[in-house]
Amino acid sequence: MFLFVILILFLAVAIAVTPAFHAFTYKLNKYKDSLKYLIWNKDIPHESHRSNFIRAGTMRPENNGTQKIRILFIRHGQSVWNSVYSEMTICLPIRIVRALILEAKYFFTRPLDSQFIDTPLSAKGIKQAKDLANFVRGAEGKITCDTTTSVVLCSNLRRTMQTALIGLSPRLNLTGEKIVVDSALQEGSGFIDTQSFSTESGKIAPFTFPGFEDPEKVQNMFDAHLNKGNKPLGVDVDARTDDFLLHIFGGTIVPAEAGERGAKDLKEIIVFGHSLFFLQFFRRFLPRSSSHIAKKCTMENCAVVAFDLIRNVSSGEVVIDENSINPLYKGFIKA
């Protein structure tokens, strides 16, 4: 009996130190945290009560008492999550079962991969990102490649990182710059696909993408100093938007190749992000009287929409110049 107990303990220890066991426990804890967030979150407020008056430093240059910067919002390509659930067809149960089987396999083999948590691009999403790259390649004058006056940002979710690497590859291959990961851009929703694997502040998780198989090289393609980890309960999308604006107007975000003037030379920010974050941003900073489609409809996958963001230095009020909104590629999904 004693030998049997010793054998059981030996087997238990052997299992506990295997990579498969560690992968399983890591993924199990990630699901536990994600489900807790799903139940208790209030990430999208029913009505925004946040002020549009942002108190920040005056690191950016002023013109007649205002600070202006050109923003390009680029939505990520279709994600695996969207590919499973977006179309309510007769094939939906089959897609769900297939995703669940693959997810069960990942529980033991790939702790930093998932069909549901921090979901990557689908095959269709990768194709959309490649089509975006073709647009960027011929978009002379519409999307700058000047790293002394611009910078590229993405959220801390894999699908925006992947879209940025593929979709902006014509610029990235030319400049060799790093993409800045800003957790303030994390998607606004309670669903588990909006939970990030990159939970450690100042870092991104060591994952890979199709075509980017070396985790060390992937790490070197990103600058994660603005990644504060996964969004916590109690910090909604409006609060993260405030952080994003403080990064812009407080001098935290600088050109990819910043000179001595730092943020004062920044003229354009290219932002790879998410549909609900962008929708909430437009609703909040467009005038209340505006009936622009950007306040009602989400952007298409890989759509590129440019606009001017303006801050009154004396009052701190931030607004979007409605007349400056310009869909450069694709546009908004009409309801």
Name beta bridge partners: 67.
Answer: 311
Structure token digits, residue 229: 């980890």
Q: What is the CATH code of the structural domain delimited by 45-90+119-329?
A: 3.40.50.1240
Look at residue 17 in the predicted model and tell me its pLDDT. 44
Structure token digits, residue 120: 């990557």
Q: How far apart are the first and last CA of the chain?
A: 69
- Is residue 128 packed enough to be buried (19+ CB in 10 Å), middle (13-18) or exposed (0-12)? buried
Domain definitions of the chain by residue range: 45-90+119-329
State whether residue 110 is helix, strand or coil: coil
State whether residue 70 is helix, strand or coil: strand
Whether the pTM exceeds 0.85: the reply is yes
Catalogue the long-range contacts made by 15-24 (C-beta closer than 8 Å, 24 or more residues apart).
20/108, 20/109, 22/111, 23/106, 23/107, 23/108, 23/109, 23/110, 23/111, 24/107, 24/108
Look at residue 10 in the predicted model and tell me its pLDDT. 41
Backbone angles phi, psi at 202, to 5 degrees: 80, 5
Q: How far apart are CA 51 and CA 267, in angstroms?
A: 25
Structure token digits, residue 60: 């950016």
- Asked whether 169 and 132 are in contact (CB, 8 A), the reply is no
- Is residue 312 packed enough to be buried (19+ CB in 10 Å), middle (13-18) or exposed (0-12)? middle
Closest CA to 273 of 294, 236, 302, 252: 302
CB count within 10 Å of CB 93 equals 9
- Asked whether 188 and 274 are in contact (CB, 8 A), the reply is yes
Strands 304-312 and 268-273: unpaired
State whether residue 66 is helix, strand or coil: strand
| Local confidence pLDDT in tens for the 335 residues of the chain | 544 445 444 434 434 445 566 667 877 888 888 888 888 888 888 777 677 877 766 555 566 688 899 999 999 999 988 888 776 677 777 788 887 888 888 777 777 788 888 899 999 999 999 999 999 999 888 998 999 999 999 999 999 999 999 999 999 999 999 999 999 999 988 888 899 988 899 999 888 888 888 888 889 999 999 999 999 888 889 999 999 999 999 888 988 887 777 778 899 999 999 999 999 999 999 998 999 999 999 999 999 999 999 998 888 889 999 999 999 999 998 76
Strands 304-312 and 150-154: unpaired
